[in-house]
Amino acid sequence: MTKQHILLGVSGGIAAFKSASLASLMVKGGYEVQVLMTEHATRFITPLTFQSLTKRAVVVDTFLEPNPAQIAHIQLADDALAYVIAPATANVVAKLAHGFADDMVTTTALAATCPLLIAPAMNVHMLAHPAVAANLRMLEERGAIVLQPAEGLLACGYTGKGRLPEPEDIFAVLQAVLARRQDLLGLKVLVTAGPTIEEIDPVRYITNASTGKMGYAIAAAAAARGAEVVLVSGPVTLAPPEGVKLRAVRSTEDMFVEVEKHFSTADVFVAAAAPADFRPKERLAGKWKKELGTPSIEWVRTPDVLKSMGERRTSHNQTLVGFAAETEDVLANGRRKLTSKHLDLLVVNDIQEEGSGFAVDTNHVTLLKANGDIKDFATMPKTAVADALWDEILAWRHRTR
């Protein structure tokens, strides 16, 4: 096997026919492709189809050992640059989640240490079943990259989520995984993102305009570069980044409690969330009626998540990074926050500037450092800002050690 060896696991679903196109794309991309199939998969598409495309014999039988000097599934796993399972049926997903190994696809998966990409495909109701959802979450928490199924007309006649992503989309994810840097490998990263909600009554609440885009981009970039990432997120409409452990919260108090759970073991804490600073002292038990007039609300401060973590830093090796969304005196306010919250780095921006701030896909930020250095970044996509910030965080950690 060569260094460009890719494993393609095919399980028994109607979407298996798309895997032939995926295998073809991989071969055209210059990869040596070894296809593994379950017995059920051979009922939908023949091994001969894949053999013709890859010029390799397809492995179905777990006990087929053509080379007495090697154990087949171990050697295949050791040689693989990546392992893609597409389609992954509910049955195979359950086996992978719970460590079952009764066919070549799952046995090899247990032995593989390379990136594992799982592309589920099944009926919309099967995908939504709590057991399947829990199994997919379990796989993500272990570091597998689970691709989101596409929506559309399914073979069973239903319309909804459950289609195998197009082969071109799966191949694009594979290429991105193989191209990514692994310079954050071994780091434990904690990221906060999004707004928080403070309830006034069962119907009304206060919040802010944060969409979580910047925090999610930071978490995604860290995971793509090899970090173990926990993302504590307020209510947003974004899909969880691949390979990230998501912890959803609602209020600032909820965020404080969840961050506290993970902070002591984090090497880097990036507080990109915009938690509410105030909450009603008392939440009204029932909906306030207009006939009662204008309610008088007493406000109290919520926990300062970032400052609290800065005061309880557990190690000199921990790096704390804050964000400051400002509307005036941007740098001066940023410097005060950097000092008062005991941070190493602070990312500050003017949210009134075009192409910066909430609800847009770009950002213009300035990085303030505890040693007094300042670095201004050009306006660019938040995904690019995230990668640039990780470069700076790594440089800071190397410089201060």
The H or E element that residue 86 is part of is strand 82-88
**Strand pairing of 198-199 and 268-271?**
unpaired
CA–CA dist 37, 46 (Å, integer): 9
Q: Which of 156, 172, 185, 395 is catalytic?
A: 156
Q: How far is CA 116 from CA 2, 15, 57, 106, 177, in A?
A: 18, 19, 22, 12, 10
Strands 145-146 and 268-271: unpaired
Single-letter code of the amino acid located at 166: E
Alpha helices in 317-377 (DSSP H): 330-340
Pairing relation of β-strands 145-146 and 116-120? parallel
What is the spatial distance between Cα 27 and Cα 85, in angstroms, rounded to a whole number? Answer: 16
Residue 230 three-state SS: strand
CB-based contact 335:326 (threshold 8 Å): no
Our answer to whether residue 114 is catalytic in this structure is: no
Q: How far is CA 194 from CA 140, 359, 391, in A?
A: 21, 11, 23
Buried/exposed code over 353-375 (b: 16+ C-beta within 10 A; e: otherwise): eeebbbebebbbbbbbbeeeeee
Closest to 6 measured CA to CA, from 181, 144, 174: 174
124: nearest Cα among 113, 132, 112: 132
Q: What's the CA dihedral at 43, 45, 51, 53 to 10 degrees?
A: -170
**Residue 169 host element (H or E):** helix 167-179
List the catalytic residues: 156
